């Protein structure tokens, strides 16, 4: 632009050039508008891809039959035991009497020491062997303090599961050992090698619980009485092999009733998850049809039709063929809803049929919808192809805009040169006009004076 436009001519040259360039920029503005529209379409396709990806992930999770065969186990007194069921469980009610829980084997030294870090025990090379269940390891204790012996036991790389500690009472410090796990399988035994003396005199802290008259490994086990008839002995307080598909976690002795039933709420939640992600796809398609992808309406309608086709294809199951038989209803806008009462009845009638409808390996809805989502979002699929096309059109528009921008810059520079020349010419003419006016005024004044005027 002119540094001082119109200074010679008095014309508003800047405004004139701006108005001319506004007319010249119309094609550029049109391209900008077109690019914004294409970018909005690209964003819409991206949103649809993302929605279908979320849908696909949900379908992958719902392809597990066990998610539709969930059971729950409840205890009449969770202070005594809690229960958890898996998909292999079966409905039933069981009486469980926890006679006793499993214990960790615990030992403490009868001999006490004055300190833990000064007094040295035994002589160098003296060794003890500690056995946990059927696995043993050796620890050198000679010429070590009580604290160092504790650390050597706990730090042994082949320690199979025993923890050493130090207990202080009114008489001094004692070494203690405790099995990390419960039951007779983790009974702890200690012996001293090569005739090494026993500096600790470890004795068991656990009580004789089976009334045998003396403590033995069996006293560490949990004992259950099922249905007031069947005795069960286990090393762990987590008992998972007594009631099929149910794990009993024992806390204390006592009588409870354990009830195992189908977990309808969790199974229904899986169906509602399916409905939720399906409705998200349908809602996104409707939003895009009425918005940024209105020009793609026919394609979006066809896409929605593919989702409906999966819903409306018979599953080929023994009990159920269509979702409406399970209480899944189609609303006027194409979304789905669940009639819980109908679903619960279907689940009670044939739980396996419900699971196969959604998660069947060959023809379940999750399997078929996963395949559809993969086709739509795969490389070379419908949505990726549309993205590629839109990106190519946007790049072309950007190239066209760059070309027009270059031409506009040259055009504006040319207008500036032309108006600069015009401004200078007008300024020169104004100067000449002023000179001539001045000369004429002088001639007129001289003539008037000569005539005595």
DSSP string across 410-434: HHHHHHHHHHHHHHHHHHHHHHHHH
pLDDT value, residue 405: 80
Sheet-wide strand order for 246-250: 81-85, 246-250, 238-239
Rounded Cα gap, residues 435 and 133, in angstroms: 125
3-state secondary structure at position 442 = helix
- Phi, psi at 50, each rounded to 5°: -65, -45
Rounded Cα gap, residues 340 and 272, in angstroms: 10
Instruction: Quick: pLDDT tens for 273-297.
Output: 999 999 999 999 999 998 888 988 9
Instruction: Quick: pLDDT tens for 100-153.
Output: 999 999 999 999 999 999 999 999 999 999 999 999 999 999 999 999 999 999
Work out the mean pLDDT of the chain and round it to a whole number.
89
Task: Pull the structure tokens for residue 33.
Answer: 């508008």
Threshold 0.75, pTM exceeds: no
What residue ranges do the domains of the chain occupy? Answer: 29-67+265-386, 71-101+221-262, 104-218
Higher-scoring residue by pLDDT: 398, 285: 285
Rounded Cα gap, residues 312 and 365, in angstroms: 10
pLDDT value, residue 2: 45
CA–CA distances in Å: residue 303 to residues 32, 292, 296, 314: 30, 16, 11, 20
Q: Domain 104-218: which CATH class?
A: mainly beta
**Inter-residue contact 59 to 341 (CB < 8 Å):** no
By CB atoms closer than 10 A (0-12, 13-18, 19+), residue 395 is: exposed
Instruction: Using the predicted structure, report yes or no on whether residue 33 has a pLDDT greater than 80.
Output: no
Q: Show the CA angle centred on residue 336, arms to residues 330 and 338, nearest 5°.
A: 100
3-state secondary structure at position 61 = helix
- Phi, psi at 207, each rounded to 5°: -95, 160
pLDDT value, residue 453: 54
pLDDT value, residue 268: 95
pLDDT band at 241 (very low <50, low <70, confident <90, very high): very high
pLDDT value, residue 393: 84
Task: Pull the structure tokens for residue 5.
Answer: 């436009």
Q: Show the CA angle centred on residue 274, arms to residues 272 and 275, nearest 5°.
A: 65
Q: What is the mean pLDDT of residues 229-241?
A: 97
pLDDT value, residue 15: 80
Rounded Cα gap, residues 66 and 63, in angstroms: 9
Rounded Cα gap, residues 305 and 429, in angstroms: 77
pLDDT value, residue 425: 74
CA–CA distances in Å: residue 266 to residues 246, 256, 273, 336: 17, 25, 11, 19
Burial 335-357 (b: 16+ CB within 10 A, else e): bbebeeeebbebbeebbebbbbb
pLDDT value, residue 5: 53
Rounded Cα gap, residues 312 and 210, in angstroms: 64
Q: Rg (Cα) of the chain, in Å, rounded? A: 45
Instruction: Using the predicted structure, report yes or no on whether residue 330 has a pLDDT greater than 60.
Output: yes
């Amino acid at each position: 632009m002119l540094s001082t436009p119109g200074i010679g001519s008095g014309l508003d040259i800047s405004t004139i050039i701006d108005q001319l360039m506004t007319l010249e920029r119309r094609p550029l503005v049109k391209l900008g508008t077109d690019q914004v529209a294409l970018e909005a379409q690209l964003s819409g396709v991206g949103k649809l891809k993302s929605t279908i990806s979320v849908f696909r992930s949900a379908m992958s999770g719902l392809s597990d039959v066990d998610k539709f065969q969930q059971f729950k186990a409840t205890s009449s007194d969770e202070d005594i035991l809690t229960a958890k069921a898996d998909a292999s469980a079966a409905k039933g009610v069981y009486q469980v009497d926890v006679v006793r829980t499993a214990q960790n084997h615990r030992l403490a030294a009868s001999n006490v020491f004055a300190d833990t870090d000064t007094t040295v025990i035994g002589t160098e090379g003296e060794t003890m062997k500690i056995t946990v269940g059927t696995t043993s390891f050796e620890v050198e204790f000679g010429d070590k303090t009580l604290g160092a012996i504790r650390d050597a036991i706990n730090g042994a790389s082949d320690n199979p599961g025993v923890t050493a500690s130090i207990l202080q009472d009114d008489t001094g410090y004692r070494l203690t050992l405790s099995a990390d796990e419960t039951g007779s399988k983790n009974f702890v035994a200690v012996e001293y090698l090569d005739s090494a003396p026993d500096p600790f005199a470890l004795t068991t802290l656990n009580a004789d619980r089976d009334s045998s008259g003396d403590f033995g490994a069996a006293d560490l086990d949990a004992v259950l009485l099922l249905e007031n008839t069947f005795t069960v002995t286990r090393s762990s307080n987590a008992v998972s092999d007594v009631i099929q598909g149910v794990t009993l976690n024992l806390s204390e002795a006592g009588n409870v009733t354990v009830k195992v039933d189908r977990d309808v709420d969790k199974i229904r939640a899986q169906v509602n998850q399916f409905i939720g992600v399906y409705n998200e796809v349908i809602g996104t398609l409707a939003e895009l049809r009425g918005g940024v992808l209105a020009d793609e309406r026919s394609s979006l309608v066809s896409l929605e039709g593919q989702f409906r086709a999966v819903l409306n294809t018979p599953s080929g199951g023994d009990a159920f063929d269509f979702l409406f038989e399970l209480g899944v209803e189609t609303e006027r806008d194409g979304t789905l809803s669940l009639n819980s009462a109908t679903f619960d009845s279907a689940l009670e009638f044939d739980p396996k049929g419900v699971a196969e409808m959604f998660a069947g390996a060959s023809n379940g809805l999750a399997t078929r919808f996963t395949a559809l989502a993969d086709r739509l979002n795969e490389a070379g699929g419908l949505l990726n192809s549309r993205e590629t096309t839109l990106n190519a059109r946007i790049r072309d528009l950007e190239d066209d805009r760059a070309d027009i921008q270059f031409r506009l810059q040259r055009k504006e520079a040319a207008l500036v040169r032309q108006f600069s020349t015009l401004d200078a010419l007008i300024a020169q003419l104004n100067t000449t006009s002023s000179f001539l006016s001045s000369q004429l005024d002088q001639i007129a004044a001289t003539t008037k004076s000569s005539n005595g005027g």
